[in-house]
Structure 1
Amino acid sequence: MRIGRIIEAEFVPTSKKLLKLKIDLGGVVKQSIAGLGDQYKPEELKSKLVAVVTNLAPRKIFGLESEVMLLAAVDGDKVSILQPDKQPREGSKIT
């Protein structure tokens, strides 16, 4: 797991809930397809530091490759992405 910074965020055109995110992991940019579109607007996520799982095999979601997965807390129908409380560098390991 690593800290990444969301550098691009947009809705997946054929979905009301999915967002396509580009995440900088410290010189390496990975794509994530995340079901956050009903909780966050793309512009709310840009530049945010987030916790991501990086050691997953890529998988196709709605025909798009998802290479990493954001960590989030779920409380009923509310989803909150996990974010560091300080400003670690992109690519920092989560222990």
Structure 2
Amino acid sequence: MLLAIKMANISELSDLNLRVGKIIEVEEISTRKPMYKLTIDLGELGTRGIIAGIKPYYSREALLNKTVIVVADLEPKKIGEHISEGMVLAAEAGEKVLLLTIDGDLPPGSKVR
């Protein structure tokens, strides 16, 4: 049986501000769920602190200097005692979670389209 999904139109997709980011700092934080606070370089947009629930899947060392895809225009959200200023995109299949990245080398802040 096929999964039914809500369809989005192209303008809804183009409204998202997706950017290439480089993880420059990884901090273990205390929350109900295992999470990291990632400091991500977004080039001309500056740096963002993003709370990510990827601690069960990645070590701090594996994340440092990793290039990721970031939703850069989300409103800040309080998670525990911390503020998250965006979202890192990941793919999930069962128990496996992988961060979305790029195929090549682009500077932080590059627009994803």
TM-score, normalising length from structure 1? 0.94
Structure 1 runs (4+) deviating above 4 angstroms are none
- Matching residue of 1:12: 29
Count of aligned positions? 95
CA-atom RMSD in angstroms: 1.2
Residue among 45, 50, 59 paired with 2:77: 59
Computing the radius of gyration over CA atoms, which structure comes out larger, 1 or 2?
2
Q: Can you give the 5+ residue segments of structure 1 that lack an aligned partner in the other structure?
A: none
**Structure 2 residues without counterparts, runs of 5 or longer:** 1-17
Query: 1:45-93: CA deviations, max 9, x gaps?
Result: 0001100001110000111000010000000111100010101110000
**Which residue of the other structure, out of 56, 62, 67, is the alignment partner of 1:49?**
67
Q: Report the TM-score, using the length of structure 2 for normalisation.
A: 0.80
Among 35, 38, 56, the alignment partner of 1:38 is: 56
CA distance in 2 between partners of 1:16 and 1:53 (Å): 21
Cα distance between partner residues in 2 of 1:23 and 1:69: 10
- Identify which of 28, 41, 58 aligns with 1:24: 41
- Quick check: which one's helix share is greater? 2
Q: Is 2:110 the counterpart of 1:82? A: no
Aligned-residue sequence identity (percent) comes to 44
